[in-house]
Amino acid sequence: MRDTWAEEKTVVKYKNKSTADYFKQLNERIDCTLRMTKANDADAKELMKVRYDNKAAYRELQVGDRAFLLLPMCANKLLATWRGPYNVIGRCKNNNYEIQMVTDVQNST
């Protein structure tokens, strides 16, 4: 609109540009946009991680502690129940734990 008010002929400006030059400039603009998008995406991911980490609680279990286990009830992952408490018998990599799921049954005879 500004070009029309200033009486510049934008159509003539684009008409005098070769197709190769137009596509070269278009590719440069697309590449620039992709770089900016990737940078913004990385910044957004980092900010989301910082916000998550501020509210997350780090829990560490020791051998002998008691823990509950979330077990799925069927093929639907949303249908799960908490079971336990079970004894922690070992610690594995990546904050995974071995638990003893068998409970001692005492016979009262």
Q: C-alpha distances in angstroms, 57 versus 18, 54, 63, 68, 84?
A: 60, 8, 20, 17, 21
SS3 assignment, position 10: helix
Query: For residue 71, what pLDDT is reported?
Result: 85
pTM: 0.43
Strands 66-72 and 80-91: antiparallel
Are 13 and 49 in the same domain?
Answer: yes
pLDDT above 90: residue 28: yes
The structural domain count of the chain equals 2
Are 7 and 27 in the same domain?
Answer: yes
- Higher confidence at residue 3 or residue 80? 80
Are 71 and 48 in the same domain?
Answer: no
Domain housing 41: 2-55
Are 41 and 6 in the same domain?
Answer: yes
